[in-house]
Structures are given as structure tokens and as C-alpha cells.
Chains A and B, each alone.
Chain A
Amino acid sequence: GQQLNQSPQSMFIQEGEDVSMNCTSSSIFNTWLWYKQDPGEGPVLLIALYKAGELTSNGRLTAQFGITRKDSFLNISASIPSDVGIYFCAVASNDYKLSFGAGTTVTVRA
């Protein structure tokens, strides 16, 4: 079953807004990943985090690896219509298995 708790489950955002989503786990992980899935496509990696406390940006996206290694958040700044999609957090185990959160569905109001 799911090891990760991702919230919120869905969000409606206004174009231009900054938004945030997060993911928590009861276990410690050494790698946290954030993916985006567009309709009809497979997930695409947005950001990978490897070190507790690490803050990494990819354009308007910023993600942080929590100090406890049990959580991570993703921020999207200045939302635009193409930000619509489902965002997943994921953690990696030592045998290269990815475990995904349930996803946050983002819908942008123009």
C-alpha cells in the first residue's frame, strides 16, 4: 500500500498564484522525487532531492527535502495554465523501486 501521504488531494488555483503541496512519510528515505503527469502521458521527473534540508529549483518549481528525511514539499510560483496536471511525490528504496504518493490534481482558473 501507499507509504506516502500527499496533500492536498486536489486544488484549484488562480493564474499567477503561488501554490504548495507536500508529502509525508512515517519512514526515512534518502531520495525524494517530484513528478508531473499530463493527461494521457506517463509521469515526467521534475525535481530530485538527495540531501536532508536540500532546496532545489527547476524554473518556477522549488522543492525541499525535509530535515527529518520524512517529508518534502513542492512549490509552484506564478501559476500558468500549462501547470495543470497531477503532481506526484515519490521516494526511492535501495533496490531502485519508486513508491508514489496518491497525487495532487492541479487545475488552473484562467
Chain B
Amino acid sequence: DSGVTQTPKHLITATGQRVTLRCSPRSGDLSVYWYQQSLDQGLQFLIHYYNGEERAKGNILERFSAQQFPDLHSELNLSSLELGDSALYFCASSPRPSTDTQYFGPGTRLTVL
């Protein structure tokens, strides 16, 4: 158990819908990272927040957005969903911006029908 929690574990929705994925980082961690894992694209970095502020963006679609709240939990919002958005979405956290201390959560499996 990494100490990072993600909800929900599974999510099934329809094309065109909007969903919110939630991440609670490990106690004391100020950095939160979101990754997408799909069969065709592999594991890809989406976005990084540190203490409420966006620090870096990866290949994140404009239909996707994220935020980190004062209590440090983070949400990833996916809108106008397409079939190709079906994937595992992972959140990771670290005490501060880091490459070697990112602890990954168990992921949310999103299925778009």
C-alpha cells in the first residue's frame, strides 16, 4: 500500500459525458502527479501540481483539467469523453517535486462506452 488513495476504482460511462477522478496523496506530500495508462499510448504523464499550483503539463488534452485543493487532494476532470479516453488513470504523490520519490496510487479504471 503506497498510501495514495484514488476513487473510484472503476468507472463506466458513456461518450460525451464528464467524470471526476479523485486522488488523496500520502500524508504530508505536497506534490501530486497524474498519469494515463492505455494500451496504445502506454504510461504517459499528464500534469503535476505542487501545493495547489500547476507545475508542469504533459500530453494532457484540452478536454481534461485538474486542480489541487487546499487540503492537498487533487481531482482530474475529463469532459466530452471519447472511446479513446478509456484507460487507467494513476495519481502519484511525493513530499516535494521529485522524480525518484513518486508513490503511485492503485489507479482508476475508466471505461467509456
B48 touches A42 (CB 8 A): no
CB neighbours (8 Å) of B42 from chain A are 2, 100-103
Q: In the complex, A68 Cα to B98 Cα: how many Å?
A: 23
Residue with the highest number of chain A CB atoms closer than 10 Å, among B45, B97, B105 = B45
0 or 1 for each of B66-108: is its CB under 8 Å from A? (1 = yes): 0000000000000000000000001010000111111011110
Which residues of B, 13-72, contact A by the 8 Å Cβ criterion?
31, 33, 35, 41-45, 48, 55-56, 58
Which residues of A, 1-34, contact B by the 8 Å Cβ criterion?
1-2, 31, 33
B56 touches A95 (CB 8 A): yes
B56 touches A42 (CB 8 A): no
Q: How large is the interface on B (under 10, 10 to 19, 20 to 34, 35 or more residues)?
A: 20 to 34
Q: How large is the interface on A (under 10, 10 to 19, 20 to 34, 35 or more residues)?
A: 20 to 34
How many residue pairs at the A-B interface have CB separations less than 8 Å? 59
A42 touches B90 (CB 8 A): yes
B104 touches A42 (CB 8 A): yes
Stretch at the interface among A43-51, A59-67, A69-77: A43-51
B99 touches A42 (CB 8 A): no
In the assembled complex, the CB of A6 is this many whole angstroms from the nearest CB of chain B, namely 9
B45 touches A43 (CB 8 A): no
Q: Rank and list the top 10 A-B pairs by shortest CB-CB distance, nearest first.
A: A42-B104, A92-B99, A100-B43, A48-B100, A95-B56, A96-B97, A97-B45, A42-B90, A102-B42, A43-B104
Question: Other CB < 8 Å A-B pairs besides A96-B55, A97-B48, A103-B43, 12 of them?
Answer: A1-B41, A33-B99, A33-B100, A42-B4, A42-B90, A44-B2, A44-B104, A88-B43, A92-B100, A98-B99, A98-B102, A103-B42
Interface residues of A (CB under 8 A from B): 1-2, 31, 33, 40-45, 48, 88, 92, 95-103
